[in-house]
Structure 1
Amino acid sequence: MSVTDKLTVLHNLLKILTFLSIWMFALYAAVTMTGSSEIQNPSVDTLEIPKTTTPPELPKPEFLVAEPRKVCKSPECIHLAHQLHNWRDISVDPCEDFYKAACGKYNEDTLVQGPRLVKKTRIVQQLVNAFLKEKKSINSTSKSEQALKTFSDLCKQWVVLKHADRVKQQTTTRNELLKKIGSVPAFDKNWKESNFDLNEMLYKTALLGKQNLVFFSMKIENSKRAVIEKDYTIPELLLGYQKEDALKNSGLKPEDQVIEEDFKNVEKLNNELMKFNDLADLEEVPLSQLQTSVPSLNFKKILKGLFNQNLKNEVWDNIKNKIAVPKSSYFFNKTYNLETILKSTPKRVLANYIGMHYRVWVEEVTAINPKEKFICAEKIIEKLPLAALRVFTRYHFDKENIQLATEMVEDIEQSFIETIQGSTWLQQSTKTTAIQKIKLMKKIIGYTKELEVPGALDSFLESLDLSNVTSYLAVNIEIDRFQNEQNYNHMASLLPFAPDKMLVGANAFYDQLSNVLTLNVPFMDDPFFDSTFPNYAKIASIGEVIGHEIGHGFDPNGRKRDENGERKDWWTPEDSAEYDKRAECLINQYNEYDDPTYGRKARKNYINE
């Protein structure tokens, strides 16, 4: 058989095998499909009909229960998250610059309308202002709320007055107040020399709240110290205005030489007082030495006019030894001083000078810009801070925050103590005193406990009388008088706090002179703090500030005062030298840092911060 024949036979066999394979596969598939069909579609004879019409119970699907997310969803937390989101700069890789990635747009988002603390203070002002528009403020029986309402109404009336009407109102009020201090010959043709008493006229000036007492001024520097200094003299320009006013209102004719003579003599006295200009640091002496040097002035009587008249003797006894007097030539020159001037000046000239000095001071009381936005809201906080604080606390503040902030302060204080104990360079005596200072640090968290008592603030406002006040100038004079009175009560330890507008600001501060840490109410409020915030958010917001303020007790100035705020060197020489060395190292480090936004700002003067 040829090769060709063999290939033909082989080819035919392959065809037969392929055909048989396909046929067998088709047969197998047919049998399989038939069996499956019988299982899926059983005959009626083999189908078992259920005895009930209730459908068979199907198995319930199993669902996975998600773990609850530990996420704060309070409005305050949402607000905080919103702020943090806006501060991010998503164009920056956090691995390259984490701070810029997290806070790169802080300035852009926040500082346009002022820093957050300033913005919060403005919000407090507006909330108080909004309250004073509500019906409940009109019908309020609270003396503090009534005082706020009176001041607010008179301020708002003042800012809308035309200039001529404003001058008229101010002139009328000023003349009424001037009558209370006594007759002024340049403005009263019926003045009598026999009725003039220098100390009585200055005392009445003090009763109206004027701390600039013409021939001297009293200034409270802190709760432990007040200073008596030479008062300002009358600017020449303003003296000219007084002369024009006298010609209009004295009842005398312009040609009457008495007015010319009056102002010539007042100007002469003013020039004499100007000659004394001791501005350098001077030795200080007690008030008793001043009284000996200037016997024409009864300082005790005059100063008591500044105090609460029901408490004036008690206040005097408590503060007289806290009053310091710089030993200036104005008071203590042996041949030519205030005493020699008073002795040689006629009573008529003294009366005119006191009256004109008072009139010039009155002009400054209402020196505000009526076009400035929020001016009355700002003035309310400035003039009646405790009353404004009461409104915000009562209607807008979560008091639970006070306890939480108190606990945070205690935790941070404990951290300070542990840090001091763990110091490797402080000696034990320095550590002991430093820890004692922290433990004895007094704290005002929000407000003092005295204000918790119902009606407490109204009792503090007892001597504030706005019942007959009808002008913006008059309400300013009365409230300023009351504020001065409260400051002296505080200095005399008869009041636990001073009525400072700082109490209403969104801030915290440390008083080195008293070793007192204060956290204001707005500072412990949204957006800085809330009871619903997670701990890390509380620490990052107000916790950082609290630590900063406590640190002022140990900055280059604070470390020189003890637990009572008294100046005392309680550091060992070795520790003091090491402190200065480390401070200098920090100064050098920051001097080398050139901030891309603010430049080289950190210098030696910034070390306290």
Structure 2
Amino acid sequence: MPVGFCFEPYRLDDDPIPVVSSVKKNVLILFGVLTVLFLFLTILLTVLLAIEKAKSNQPVPVENDVCLTPFCIKAANYLLESIDETIEPCENFYQFSCGTWLRNNRIPDDAGSQDTFYVLRTQLENNVVDILTSPLPNDTIHIKAITNARRLYSSCANEAAIESAGVDTVLSIIDHELGGWPILQGSSWNETQFNLSHLLVKLREYNNNIIFICVTSTDDKNSSAYYIRVGQSELGLEQRQYYLNESQATRAYRQFINDLALALSNDSTTIEDDVRDIYEFEKKIANFHWTLAEQRARQNETVRTTIGNLSRVINTTFDFANNIRQNYLLANVTLHDHDNVSISEVEYLRSVSLIISQQSPRVLQNYFIWRFMMNRAGNMPKRYRAIREQFDRVIRGTTAERPRSITCGVYVNTHMGFAVAKLYIKKHFDENARNQSLEMISDIRSAFIKMLNESTWMDAVSKRKAIDKALNIDEKIGYPEFLGSDNITELEETYTGYDFNASYIHNVLTVLKLKAKENFKLLRAPIDRKAWGPNAPTIVNAFYTPSKNQITFPAGILQSPFFDKDAPKYLNYGGIGAVIGHEITHGFDDNGRQFDKDGNRILWWTPDTIDRFNKRKKCIVDQYSEYVLEQINTTINGNQTQGENIADNGGIKEAFYAYQKWARKNRYADKKLPGLTKYSAEQMFFINYAQVWCAKTTDSYAMSRILTGYHSPGQFRVLGTTSNFEAFDRVFRCRPGQGNSRTNKCTVW
């Protein structure tokens, strides 16, 4: 009989003294047996939990393993308000993770979408406005760049002054510098004064790249130098697809031209004909415009030459070489015959040059000035801004204008972001984010290198070079060092010439000229491959730069739900960790893989490895090309989005494997969230990853993003990645072939 389960009972007819002694003895025996039993069960439970942990790689749960810190309560709240537990995760993980959020959130009237990025950007934009309007800290009052950033904001926010100034400044530039706008002048416009070359140079002086771009970029064959890049520019409606059929967008575009001309002119006799001719001219150009997918597929068709040979190589009636020389002279940069030029979309440039040669001066002058005015309408008094706003509402599906304070804050942050960031990081950035992010980057990079080592489709030579490239990725976190320094020299030099007054339109025109000159001057500047890039820290985004082999995580994105210093690590790895993995993987997607560890576009993989990569890439392209955005009944362009899809699929795996490794080293460290205790840490990793991509968009905005965006809609960023990942199936016990589990999984990395 097992010890501890049977003892003699107390009887009334027994001798009292012996009985008392016997009872005491039996109680002691019972206590001992229970103690042994408790210890045995504790050991047994620990062993069983350890076995289960070994199976699932989960930390062993312990007593009081619920996190009740303010952050954990907040995180639990936003996740509980997002997930829909009536949906089976293995059937549709996006609906499971976002179903409740989708029901309870609405798209703001002044935006085309509502998602995590909108929330974070709105928060950041409000912080920027506060920075630009609140009293300055004493140690920043003397910084000229900050003073001028605040002046620029004040001039933008002073609507009374903008109304008082009217449109005379803009119209004066059109008449005296750009040759007039025929649509406003009717039959009195004198076409004998038309000079296309002069017009294009003057427009470029105001930072307008119309019909074609002419910019300074890092030389893709020599990342230690710059070269001149020439290619197609954007259309008024951005993409060719808009011009293929008459639609609400094309009608709104023509209405925009018509209404702006009517608002500026006393002579409406030719407006209707001029609007038609402007649109028809652009429609002809659009026929030859390369889509984003075509540009990505035909990268290798770029032609490399020199300024001296440019006219012979491109062979058009328009003198591109002379135009480019004149552009650079705007910044006092004299071009030499041996200066390198990269030409993309050559067929487009030749076709458009022919179209231009066949057009009347009136049509050309009308079109180029229209494109200039299309962008200036937003800088003019309210009645003209309202015309632009009506067009934007059709394209984005909005029903209201953004607050003027936000519009002005965004404008200043766009053009003087480093001055804004000097104040932002002091007030809003937690330095803990840098140290923790560095640790995560190290872990995730190691996970990617392990994946490289275990890949079966790369040969040894290509694999070794890929690992070398991964090890040499340069990381930038938060902000550039000079912003955290008391030495303000670099900040002041960055904004030399940014001297503003109370006139908003004057300040806008000054900014345009400065930006154009800055780009042209780069051609003769040295390249610091370790320097922070052009994007300011006050942005909710992250970047991979092929020419630098550099990943950048600005301060603006290092906040919840992507990152918080007090968050359980499964949330951080599922948030910013997946972003880190995404950016690392960009170095090895269909574009990034063409650049070596030093940022040079060369053939550094063997042909066999490239061929096997392309086969795997095709699986991703085909998978995403099958997704249909039911909201607008439109198929996703798998070719156009392939780079981002490859990065998403690689990034989530690297972050997950890195988290697993962290969890094995830090057992018991991650506690569960209140109300979500039934979910394992690994399940919470995926839930937070998916919640980041919960999104609602207007139909117009959704169509615009599909036509012009490199990223898949949020739901497919969730469904595509999780359906390809075996670990997701294991964590949620999904059967292959269920709605959220592909039988034939696509794997590049």
Tell whether 2:343 aligns with 1:324. Answer: yes
Report deviation, 1:208: 4.2
Q: What is the CA deviation profile of residues 532-588 of structure 1, one whole-angstrom value per residue up to 9, with x for unaligned ones?
A: 223322212111121122222223343343324444443334434443444455667
Following the alignment from structure 1 to structure 2, what is the Cα–Cα distance between the partners of residues 236 and 100?
39
Following the alignment from structure 2 to structure 1, what is the Cα–Cα distance between the partners of residues 584 and 484?
25
Following the alignment from structure 1 to structure 2, what is the Cα–Cα distance between the partners of residues 184 and 526?
51
Following the alignment from structure 2 to structure 1, what is the Cα–Cα distance between the partners of residues 130 and 630?
41
Tell whether 2:298 aligns with 1:289. Answer: no
Q: What is the CA deviation profile of residues 472-530 of structure 1, one whole-angstrom value per residue up to 9, with x for unaligned ones?
A: x22222222223334445565558455447x5332223234543222121111234212
Following the alignment from structure 2 to structure 1, what is the Cα–Cα distance between the partners of residues 577 and 436?
11
Instruction: Name 1:56's counterpart in structure 2.
Output: none
Q: Secondary structure, in 3 states, of the residue corresponding to 1:426?
A: coil
Does structure 2 retain, via aligned residues, the 8 Å contact 1:76–1:532?
Answer: yes
Give the aligned residue type for 2:480: T
Does structure 1 retain, via aligned residues, the 8 Å contact 2:181–2:369?
Answer: no
Gaps of 5+ in 1: 1-24, 26-66, 188-194, 249-259
Q: Which residue, 327, 343, 352 being the options, matches 1:303?
A: 327
Does structure 1 retain, via aligned residues, the 8 Å contact 2:141–2:147?
Answer: yes
Does structure 2 retain, via aligned residues, the 8 Å contact 1:587–1:604?
Answer: yes
Instruction: Name 2:127's counterpart in structure 1.
Output: 127
Instruction: Name 1:145's counterpart in structure 2.
Output: 146
Q: 1:223 to 1:240 in 2, by over 3 A?
A: farther
Instruction: Name 2:377's counterpart in structure 1.
Output: 366
TM-score (norm 1): 0.64
Does structure 2 retain, via aligned residues, the 8 Å contact 1:509–1:549?
Answer: yes
Greater length-normalized contact order (CA 8 Å, ≥ 6 residues apart): 2
Following the alignment from structure 1 to structure 2, what is the Cα–Cα distance between the partners of residues 603 and 271?
27
Instruction: Name 1:444's counterpart in structure 2.
Output: 476
Following the alignment from structure 1 to structure 2, what is the Cα–Cα distance between the partners of residues 333 and 607?
29
Report deviation, 1:123: 0.8
Following the alignment from structure 2 to structure 1, what is the Cα–Cα distance between the partners of residues 470 and 172?
53
Following the alignment from structure 2 to structure 1, what is the Cα–Cα distance between the partners of residues 355 and 89?
70
Does structure 2 retain, via aligned residues, the 8 Å contact 1:443–1:516?
Answer: yes
Q: Which residue, 573, 580, 605 being the options, matches 1:571?
A: 605
Report deviation, 1:429: 0.9
Instruction: Name 1:435's counterpart in structure 2.
Output: 467
Following the alignment from structure 2 to structure 1, what is the Cα–Cα distance between the partners of residues 98 and 233?
51
Instruction: Name 2:454's counterpart in structure 1.
Output: 422
Q: Which residue, 460, 464, 467 being the options, matches 2:498?
A: 464
Report deviation, 1:116: 1.1
Instruction: Name 2:744's counterpart in structure 1.
Output: none
Instruction: Name 2:445's counterpart in structure 1.
Output: 413
Tell whether 2:79 aligns with 1:84. Answer: yes
Tell whether 2:157 aligns with 1:156. Answer: yes
Does structure 2 retain, via aligned residues, the 8 Å contact 1:89–1:103?
Answer: yes
Q: 1:196 to 1:362 in 2, by over 3 A?
A: closer
Instruction: Name 1:395's counterpart in structure 2.
Output: 427
Instruction: Name 1:116's counterpart in structure 2.
Output: 116
Following the alignment from structure 2 to structure 1, what is the Cα–Cα distance between the partners of residues 358 and 116?
54
Q: Secondary structure, in 3 states, of the residue corresponding to 1:504?
A: coil
Report deviation, 1:417: 0.9
Tell whether 2:196 aligns with 1:172. Answer: no
Following the alignment from structure 2 to structure 1, what is the Cα–Cα distance between the partners of residues 195 and 633?
61
Following the alignment from structure 2 to structure 1, what is the Cα–Cα distance between the partners of residues 517 and 194?
27
Q: 1:210 to 1:577 in 2, by over 3 A?
A: closer
Q: Percent identity?
A: 20
Following the alignment from structure 1 to structure 2, what is the Cα–Cα distance between the partners of residues 420 and 499?
31
Q: 1:180 to 1:79 in 2, by over 3 A?
A: farther
TM-score (norm 2): 0.53
Does structure 2 retain, via aligned residues, the 8 Å contact 1:124–1:392?
Answer: no
Does structure 2 retain, via aligned residues, the 8 Å contact 1:385–1:504?
Answer: yes
Report deviation, 1:451: 3.7
Q: What is the CA deviation profile of residues 441-463 of structure 1, one whole-angstrom value per residue up to 9, with x for unaligned ones?
A: 23222233344443132220012
C-alpha RMSD over aligned residues: 5.6
Q: Secondary structure, in 3 states, of the residue corresponding to 2:167?
A: helix
Give the aligned residue type for 2:420: A
Give the aligned residue type for 1:437: K
Report deviation, 1:360: 6.4
Q: Secondary structure, in 3 states, of the residue corresponding to 2:142?
A: coil
Following the alignment from structure 1 to structure 2, what is the Cα–Cα distance between the partners of residues 536 and 439?
25
Q: Secondary structure, in 3 states, of the residue corresponding to 1:518?
A: strand
Does structure 2 retain, via aligned residues, the 8 Å contact 1:203–1:305?
Answer: no
Does structure 1 retain, via aligned residues, the 8 Å contact 2:288–2:352?
Answer: no
Report deviation, 1:91: 5.2
Does structure 2 retain, via aligned residues, the 8 Å contact 1:217–1:228?
Answer: yes
Tell whether 2:515 aligns with 1:483. Answer: yes
Report deviation, 1:129: 1.0
Instruction: Name 2:565's counterpart in structure 1.
Output: 531
Q: 1:341 to 1:98 in 2, by over 3 A?
A: closer
Does structure 1 retain, via aligned residues, the 8 Å contact 2:288–2:351?
Answer: no
- How many residue pairs end up in the alignment? 506
Following the alignment from structure 1 to structure 2, what is the Cα–Cα distance between the partners of residues 538 and 216?
43
